[in-house]
Amino acid sequence: MNTLNLIEPEKSDIVFKTMVFPDGQPHIKMDIASISNLNKKEPLKILTRLASPADLLMTLFIKNTLDYFEFEQVQLNVSYLLAARMDRVMLDGEPFSLKVIAGIINLAGFSKINIFDPHSEVATAVIEHAYTMSNHVFVKDALGNYFIKYQRSAFCLVSPDAGALKKIHKLAQFLQVDQVVECMKERDLKTGALTNFKTTTDNLGGQTCFIIDDICDGGGTFAGTAKMLKEKGAEKVVLVVSHGIFSKGTIIDFVDEIYTTDSYKKVEGVNCFPVSKYL
């Protein structure tokens, strides 16, 4: 399948240049010769991050341009989905942000949309022709890399909260891992404060605990969970997250090592894998 690759432009079948006008509007100029060489009846795939409103607007501009050139099937592969965490109205007076983003994307008329590890099933419910690309291969790669660097020892997968729990048992089945630790926390939606970290597991007996989740933003959930795991006897705590924002930096208390992808951005100082492999 031919691609227009915004994540790794050097791998794009359509050569292009991007810029931003002084008023902040993104703009793209595609090479006509590279477009002319493509069969417009075959599917064309756009690979992109939707990490900002500008990214979303750029994607719509690209789809509009490809429509003018009469490409019959344009597929969108999204490494990171803007507003995926706002998958409902959290508090009175706030928007259902994901529904708004979905409405905009739906207007573009993509033939198929693949989303890498979206926050919840709501994303594929409100975005038309959308499908989840799981984190399973990424997590397998992360664990494999860790055990190449360090001596293999007893380990478990950790779900840090109820949201992650929905995915982790399918992941455990894929990895053929029996040990899954379920954790819980309480969040004040008005203040964002996290409290009451707990788990049903009493003794982790020197195990390496791999916390698996989709997004790390400030890292508070993982610091609180890692502290609790070590109090239960965990020897090492490794964080594996598909999308690394790290708004408060990559040093997270009680976390010994971090794995992520460049789905949102390239992250320095941690094990950051190219997301292109998982798209």
**Going residue by residue through the chain (279 aa), what tens digit of pLDDT does each one get?**
999 999 999 999 999 999 999 999 999 999 999 999 899 999 999 999 999 999 999 999 999 999 999 999 999 999 999 999 999 998 999 999 999 999 999 999 999 999 999 999 999 999 999 999 999 999 999 999 999 999 888 999 999 988 788 899 999 999 999 999 998 877 666 666 676 677 878 889 889 999 999 999 999 999 999 999 999 999 999 999 999 999 999 999 999 999 999 999 999 999 999 999 999
Burial tier of 95 (Cβ tally within 10 Å: 0-12, 13-18, 19+): exposed
pLDDT score recorded for residue 189: 63
Residue-by-residue DSSP string for 120-149? STHHHHHSTTEEEE-SHHHHHHHHHHHHHH
Specify the 3-state DSSP secondary structure of 24. Answer: coil
Query: What separation, in Å, do the N-terminal and C-terminal C-alpha atoms of the chain show?
Result: 13
Instruction: For the beta carbon of residue 37, count every other beta carbon within 10 angstroms.
Output: 11
The pLDDT value recorded for residue 7 is 98
Q: What CA–CA distance (Å, rounded) separates 160 from 120?
A: 15
Calculate helix-pair angle for 162-175, 136-149, nearest 10 degrees.
70
Our CA dihedral for 68, 20, 265, 73, rounded to 10 degrees, sits at 0
Cα distances from 115 to residues 47, 49, 189, 205, 279, in angstroms, run 10, 10, 26, 37, 8
**CB atoms inside a 10 Å sphere around CB 68:** 7
